[in-house]
């Protein structure tokens, strides 16, 4: 990859994964104490920052195909390490996951993702949308947090409309993710969310 192309990939990747200013759901703001909300924001931002670093290195070295390997093998390890650090579940989820075993959203996350999609359909930008509350579940009481992950320019190559995904990437995805549902998202639409769940 030449320097110009690499710079474009890096710029797009930084746009996609950078910690965004947050447009919160005001109705939920009083339900989570400020320290817990800030911890959730910090943990999810840390996760995205580490993922960004790994993807930048992979793309600089080998191009966008290498990002598939990073997402399959390295990202789950990063998620596990950040989760252990915060004593929480910190990961990325979607309504249309690439790997259903790791990326399928639970009921609370599905509700948050659907709300994000509805807000984007009404004209809001996906970048920075978040949802948070304390919820009672059968397993206990939890702080729940989700931040929307919009489809950025870089991700169009692996998650965008089928005609924008190269044959090489389609072939690699078919091999590594036979149950892939993560192609077909338009630029700026909600691709998924980064989430935080911790006992409260």
Does 80 or 29 have the greater pLDDT score? 80
> Do 13 and 59 touch, CB atoms closer than 8 A?
yes
20 versus 176: which is more confidently predicted? 176
Band of residue 100 on the pLDDT scale cut at 50, 70, 90: confident
- The better pLDDT of the pair 17, 127 is held by 127
Determine the pLDDT at residue 67.
84
How confident is the model at residue 82, as a pLDDT?
Answer: 98
Asked whether the beta carbons of 182 and 94 are under 8 A apart, the reply is yes
pLDDT value at 70 more than 70:
yes
Sign of the dihedral defined by the CA atoms of residues 28, 33, 34, 39, in that order: negative
The answer to whether residue 116 scores a pLDDT higher than 50 is yes
Q: pLDDT band for 94, please (50, 70, 90 cuts).
A: very high
Task: Note the pLDDT tens digit of each residue in 3-52.
Answer: 444 444 444 444 344 333 343 443 344 466 899 999 999 999 999 999 98
Least confidently predicted of 22-36, 97-111, 121-135, 147-161:
22-36
User: Which string of b and e fits 164-193 if b means at least 16 CB within 10 Å?
Assistant: ebeeebeebbeeebeebebbebeeebbbbb
pLDDT band at residue 146 under the 50/70/90 scheme: very high
To the nearest whole percent, how much of the chain has pLDDT over 70?
84
Residue the block writes with tokens 């990326």: 103
pLDDT of residue 31: 62
Q: Is the dihedral of CA 61, 49, 142, 132 positive or negative?
A: negative
- Per-residue pLDDT reduced to its tens digit, 154-173: 777 788 888 888 899 889 89
Rounded to whole angstroms, the Cα distance separating 43 from 111 reads 21
Inform me whether the pLDDT recorded for 114 exceeds 60.
yes
Q: Where are the domains of the chain?
A: 3-199
């Amino acid at each position: 990859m030449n320097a110009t192309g690499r710079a474009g990939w890096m710029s797009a990747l930084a746009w996609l994964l950078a910690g965004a200013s947050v447009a919160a759901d005001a109705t939920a703001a009083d339900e989570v104490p400020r320290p817990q909300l800030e911890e959730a924001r910090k943990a999810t931002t840390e996760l995205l920052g580490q993922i960004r670093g790994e993807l930048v290195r992979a793309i600089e070295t080998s191009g966008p195909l290498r990002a598939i390997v990073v997402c399959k093998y390295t990202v789950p390890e990063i998620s596990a390490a950040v989760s252990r650090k915060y004593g929480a579940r910190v990961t990325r989820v979607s309504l249309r996951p690439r790997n259903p075993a790791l990326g399928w959203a639970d009921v609370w996350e599905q509700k948050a993702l659907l709300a994000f999609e509805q807000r984007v359909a009404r004209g809001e930008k996906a970048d920075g949308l978040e949802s948070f509350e304390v919820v009672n579940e059968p397993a206990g009481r939890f702080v729940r947090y989700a931040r929307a992950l919009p489809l950025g320019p870089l991700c169009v190559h692996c998650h965008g409309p089928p005609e924008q995904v190269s044959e090489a990437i389609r072939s690699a995805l078919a091999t590594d993710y036979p149950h892939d549902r993560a192609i077909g998202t338009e630029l700026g639409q909600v691709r998924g969310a980064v989430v935080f769940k911790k006992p409260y």
